[in-house]
Amino acid sequence: MEQAVVETNFKFDNQKNVYKGKVRDVYTISEEYLVMIVSDRISAFDQVLPNGIPFKGQVLNQIAAQFLDATKDIVPNWKITMPDPMVTVGYKCEPFPIEMIIRGYLTGSSWRSYKKGNRTISGVAIPDGMQEHQYFESPIITPTTKEEHGDEEISKEEIIAQGLITAEDYALIEKYTYQLFERGSQMAAEKGLILVDTKYEFGKKGDEIYLIDEIHTPDSSRYFYADGYQERFDKGEAQRQLSKEFVREWLMNNGFQGKQGEEIPEMPNEFIEQVSNRYIELYEKITGEVFVKADIQNVQKRIEENVIDFFENK
């Protein structure tokens, strides 16, 4: 097995602080820039799994960079450059405390909730009689809060009433969310994929709203293969998909759903390799390019040198 990057501990010049999320380590430089290092950690059910996935960070970072570049005509985004295959450097923005989740199909967690009898998600009504993997007549936005220990559904009305975002700003990020999803869906369709659902995060730089974090990667998005979708749907069969859902399914089959008292199962090497290959498959499918594995002999040193070189020469 090739080595995965599961932890970073850099000390860059003018470094103010470090935020370590489930997957990304974000270094603040001079209160003006962010250095986002996409690790090979993988999370599911709001838990970081014990094993890293080789090349996952490179896949996520390079997909996100392509989509950020391809959507900057819709909304400004935080990205300045990608100095390393696993790193994006961008502007520090003040993030809004919600995630904008948009769904084109009833699947995954929304289907599991629907099957239990729930007919609303984040205040959005879902009609009776729908089937798993069925598309919505129009995509729906189902926001969540951003919590340390699991995100919570929240309605548009609650967001505004609680003063999390002004009504004017919410209207704008709602518009951006629909436009970004439409662009992402078009780009996916060109490659024979369906963008099923995804999430976007926004923040402000000065008075202007920016798209932040990453977009349209298999960590934040679900993709179906378009070929065979209707036939599988008509037969009530599982869809061929490129997302983390198969990792969640493996965990559930091994007795873990993120509930209290459950122990996270250790992934065998063969499954880790399978997950890595699935991430690479998505990269090649969604970008139309052959994935070139970066040299990981001295990956920590490589990342450090590339980041330092950017700030010395910017």
H helices present in the chain, as ranges: 56-71, 108-115, 156-161, 167-190, 229-235, 245-253, 269-287, 299-313
* Amino acid at site 221: S
pLDDT of residue 255: 94
Share of the chain above pLDDT 90, in %: 86
Which CATH number does the domain housing residue 213 bear? 3.30.470.20
Question: In sequence order, which ranges of 106-166 are alpha helices (DSSP H)?
Answer: 108-115, 156-161
**Other Cβ atoms within 10 Å of 125 Cβ, number:** 8
CA distances from 261 to 75, 203, 255 (A): 43, 36, 11
Whether 183 is covered by a domain: the verdict is: yes
What pLDDT, in 10s, does the model give residues 124-163? 999 999 999 999 999 999 999 987 656 799 999 999 999 9
pLDDT of residue 278: 87
- CA nearest to 6, candidates 30, 35, 38, 39: 39
Query: How many structural domains comprise the chain?
Result: 1
Express each pLDDT in 292-310 by its tens digit: 999 888 899 999 999 999 9
Q: For residue 233, tell me if it sits in a domain.
A: yes
With CA atoms as reference, report the closest residue to 69 among 172, 169, 178, 183.
183
Domain contains 90: no
- Residue 209's domain comprises 95-242
Residue 313 forms part of a structural domain: no
pTM, whole model, 2 decimals?
0.90
User: What are the pLDDT digits (tens) for 168-196?
Assistant: 999 999 999 999 999 999 999 999 999 99
